[in-house]
Amino acid sequence: MSDQDGKKPLGLSGGARSGRVNQSFSRGRTKSVVVETKRKRVMVPKPGTAAAAQAEGNTRPSGVSDSEMERRLKALQAAKAREVEDAQRRAQEEKDREEERARKRAEIEAKEREEREREEALKAKAEEDARRKADEDARRNAPEAVAEAPAAPVEPTGSRGGGKPSSAPARKDNERDDKRDRGAGKGDRDGGRRSGKLTLNQALTGGEGGRQRSMAAMKRKQERQRQKAMGGNVEREKVTRDVQVPETIIVSELANRMAERVADVVKALMQNGLMVTQNQPIDADTAELIVEEFGHKVVRVSDSDVEDVIDQVEDKEEDLQPRPPVITIMGHVDHGKTSLLDAIRNAKVVAGEAGGITQHIGAYQVKTDSGALLSFLDTPGHAAFTSMRARGAQVTDIVVLVVAADDAVMPQTVEAINHAKAAEVPMIVAINKIDKPDANPDKVRTDLLQHEVVVEKMSGDVQDVEVSAISGQGLDELLEAIALQSEILELKANPERAASGAVIEAQLDVGRGPVATVLVQNGTLKQGDIFVVGEQWGKVRALINDKGDRVSEAGPSVPVEVLGLNGTPEAGDVLNVVDTEAQAREIAEYRENAAKEKRAAAGAATTLDQLLAKAKEDENVSELPILVKADVQGSAEAIIQAMEKIGNDEVRVRVLHSGVGAITESDVGLAEASGAPVIGFNVRANAPARNTANQKGVEIRYYSVIYDLVDDVKAAASGLLSAEVRENFIGYAEIKEVFRVTGVGNVAGCLVTEGVARRSAGVRLLRDNVVIHEGTLKTLKRFKDEVKEVQSGQECGMAFENYDDIRAGDVIEIFEREEVERSLA
């Protein structure tokens, strides 16, 4: 019978339970089960349903559906479950409280037991001291007692013989005392060794309640006992140590270096009037006094001593081997330096340079027909790259000065000559573009005489070669001249020592990280070497030569790209290989801190006058803030130097931040906060940075030629200049009579003697050719009408704004102001 019949289901007997059960489904949901018995078939509600609940005796109220009944049953079950959980939680809390009370009782009992044991130990010690004192007194008075003692008692005469003294009891007492003394002596001997050992009883009872002696204390005690057994009390000999004392040192560290107790060092400092703790620093002079007071020797060191690990040993003559020369190509813009090098290398480097000019230092190695290796450095010729050319001259052995035969000596040519002279390196003059019809090499040689460069054809000692990068004319003679000059120099280096070199260029590569182009000057740089370069350090992860091939090592005069730096170094930094990573990190941290302190000292005003002057200067000068991101470090440095030259006393360009690599979101955020544009030189912004710049309205400008960048920044800075105000005199008027007008004030009756008088113009009142007032006109009338202007020879009435002190005979000067836009030169 189903639950829709509204009747209670029939009960089942034992025979019914053993029957077969079939399920019936209605509308996809099980409502009841069919139980077949031997007698009859009955419908039994499915457990958990409303019908089952009704069958169990839970009468369902009228008007309540099956789903509502099931919901109420579930809520009832949930409430019962919560009651059970609450009961369990209360039981657990009660159990925890009982355990806490038991633990506290146990702690109190343990403390009371320790107190009782301590009192018993003190009492036992007092009794032992009293007993020992009594024994000593007894031993001290023993001779007197023996002398005054009566004769021993005589045994009574027995059947065995005459009387003898009774000595048996005394002998037993003496034996018992001897045993006790021997036991006490053994305890004294063993107690010294066993007092510091942990016994099973002590471990189970929690120890004696006191502090256990350390292993070092036990060893010191054993050493003292050994020395005492060998020859009595022997004082320990004082060990004198060499203590390194830096500029500042922590008290505990000083104690450790002296191998003294920290408490003794603190006590010595307090006796000298310094109330310090073990965690406070002290200066080197104070530390030196304390070290000398404890009997040690002082070795003063400084923070810069960390750089002493860099190998500065002079190479022996037998270790030196010939090395290839390093040749730097220098000269003016567009004189054919890179094209000449291309002709030597049979490459097309200039095709990859924006605008056809070299904007990076390129390092290449060329093998001549004779088998000689030559390392070339190609430096930019533009004026903005002065510092880059200076670094090229510093690491070079020979300078090849390229001068165009059709252009002669130019400003950057003179600059290259000065760099070569400052570096004290020999020079070879390559007169390029000799194949052009208007080439005049003799003019080049004559112009070089003005700069103290005398070539061989002018009876001098400087080699000169006429070459053509296009036709290849004179290239062999140029290489021959370089080889001859290198032979004269006898260039040698030790390839077996730790490598050192100079960073020619550095950049941040997206896929490879910081990459530095290094020219190895001494030693051999190998893969896996740990090095420090400027404020950065790293481990050589890979070496790539100028052809793009990976190499395992690079010897002297070999340019390679080094991967594995933790940051981008500055172009011109020196690379040194060290032994351990800790040394490299320590040197890099020291250099970074020293650079920060130097920058802070340079930017800080030391006196009040300097501070006020700097504040006044900043107040009167307008700034154009910019952010610069470049592809390589040398380009970023050159752009910054070019920006510093832009400006005058009224406006200047301020580089907020410069870096190497793509433009990021952080760059855009800084630009937005400062109201500055972002300048990208041969780099681009990534997608998040572009989206952020569009949302926040930050301008990003891309450049590939430095000329355009400098011109645009100069034009933007010119917009900050205040316009120049010029005065144009347009007329003079003479005051004939002064009239008093109610509501207006004094009005001057004037005659325009020269030019024209306009109401919108400015006026000055001259009395005896002295300016006594400058202002504007309040009114300009001719007869009774207000007019805009009055021509020369006509009469008019004038009144000044907020000024009435006018007299007959005064002259009024009339002028107009004109604003003229200015620009930076």
Neighbours of 805 (CB within 10 A): 11
Q: Are strands 29-36 and 20-26 parallel, antiparallel or unpaired?
A: antiparallel
Residue 353 has pLDDT above 70, yes or no: no
Give how far the C-alpha of residue 748 lies from the chain's centroid of Cα atoms, to the nearest Å.
75
Residue 216 has pLDDT above 60, yes or no: yes
Of 388, 410, 408, give the one whose Cα is nearest residue 706. 388
pLDDT of residue 166: 44
Longest dimension (CA), the chain: 185
The pLDDT tens digits for 748-805 are: 899 999 888 888 788 888 888 888 888 888 888 888 888 888 888 888 988 888 888 8
Residue 680 has pLDDT above 70, yes or no: yes
- Amino acid at position 498, single letter: A
Rounded to whole angstroms, the Cα distance separating 193 from 221 reads 9
Burial of 75 (0-12, 13-18, 19+ CB in 10 A): exposed
**E strands of 494-611, at which residues?**
500-509, 513-522, 525-526, 530-533, 536-544, 550-551, 553-554, 559-565, 574-578
Backbone angles phi, psi at 532, to 5 degrees: -130, 135
Q: Are strands 678-681 and 622-630 parallel, antiparallel or unpaired?
A: parallel
pLDDT of residue 307: 66
Q: Which of 153-162, 189-198, 299-308, 341-350 has the lowest mean pLDDT?
A: 153-162
- Amino acid at position 319, single letter: D
pLDDT classification of 18: cutoffs 50, 70, 90: very low
Report the mean per-residue pLDDT for the chain.
Answer: 76
Give how far the C-alpha of residue 670 lies from the chain's centroid of Cα atoms, to the nearest Å.
18
- Amino acid at position 161, single letter: G
Q: Are strands 770-782 and 785-786 parallel, antiparallel or unpaired?
A: antiparallel
The pLDDT tens digits for 259-283 are: 889 999 999 999 988 888 989 989 8
Backbone angles phi, psi at 583, to 5 degrees: -65, -45
3-state SS of 105-123?
HHHHHHHHHHHHHHHHHHH
pLDDT of residue 514: 87
Most confident of 196-200, 245-249, 255-259, 301-305: 255-259
**E strands of 286-334, at which residues?**
297-300, 321-322, 326-331
3-state SS of 220-254?
HHHHHHHHHHHHCCCCCCCCCCEEEECCEEEHHHH
Of 314, 283, 328, 526, give the one whose Cα is nearest residue 427. 328
- What number is the average pLDDT over the span 94-119? 88
Q: Is 636 helix (H, G, I), strand (E, B) or coil?
A: helix
Helix (H) or strand (E) holding 188: helix 168-194
pLDDT of residue 266: 92
Most confident of 38-47, 115-124, 341-350: 115-124
Residue 314 has pLDDT above 80, yes or no: no
pLDDT of residue 165: 44
Of 507, 512, 540, give the one whose Cα is nearest residue 525. 540
Give how far the C-alpha of residue 655 lies from the chain's centroid of Cα atoms, to the nearest Å.
20
pLDDT of residue 198: 56
Residues, the chain, total? 825
Residue 125 has pLDDT above 60, yes or no: yes
pLDDT of residue 161: 41
Give 116 or 707, the one with higher predicted confidence.
116
pLDDT of residue 192: 46
Give how far the C-alpha of residue 756 lies from the chain's centroid of Cα atoms, to the nearest Å.
70
pLDDT classification of 495: cutoffs 50, 70, 90: confident
pLDDT of residue 596: 81
Contact at 8 Å (CB) between 340 and 401?
no
Mark 648-658 as b/e (b = at least 16 C-beta within 10 Å). Answer: eeebbbebbbb
Q: Which of 504-518, 604-618, 728-742 has the lowest mean pLDDT?
A: 604-618
Q: Which of 200-214, 330-344, 738-752 has the lowest mean pLDDT?
A: 200-214
Give 188 or 561, the one with higher predicted confidence.
561
3-state SS of 173-185?
HHHHHHHHHHHHH
Q: Is 623 helix (H, G, I), strand (E, B) or coil?
A: strand
Residue 338 makes CB contacts below 8 A (sequence gap 6+) with 329, 349, 350, 353, 358, 362, 378
- What number is the average pLDDT over the span 345-350? 55
Q: What is the DSSP letter of 46?
A: P
pLDDT of residue 661: 84
DSSP assignment of 751-814? EEEEEEEETTSEEEEEETTEEEEEEEEEEEEETTEE-SEEETT-EEEEEETTB----TT-EEEE
pLDDT of residue 29: 45
Q: Which of 224-233, 462-471, 490-499, 643-652 has the lowest mean pLDDT?
A: 224-233
Question: Taking the alpha carbons of 639, 645, 646, 650 in that order, is the dihedral positive or negative?
Answer: positive
pLDDT classification of 351: cutoffs 50, 70, 90: very low
Q: Which of 43-52, 65-74, 708-717 has the lowest mean pLDDT?
A: 43-52
Tokens of 79: 């409430």
Residue 725 has pLDDT above 80, yes or no: no
pLDDT classification of 78: cutoffs 50, 70, 90: very high
Rounded to whole angstroms, the Cα distance separating 129 from 141 reads 18
Residue 484 makes CB contacts below 8 A (sequence gap 6+) with 463
Question: Whose structure tokens read 């004192």?
Answer: 133
- What number is the average pLDDT over the span 447-462? 84
Cross-strand pairs, 577: 531
Most confident of 343-352, 645-654, 662-671: 662-671
Q: What is the DSSP letter of 158?
A: B
The pLDDT tens digits for 84-104 are: 999 999 999 999 888 888 888
Contact at 8 Å (CB) between 462 and 455?
yes
**E strands of 1-95, at which residues?**
20-26, 29-36, 41-45
pLDDT of residue 719: 72
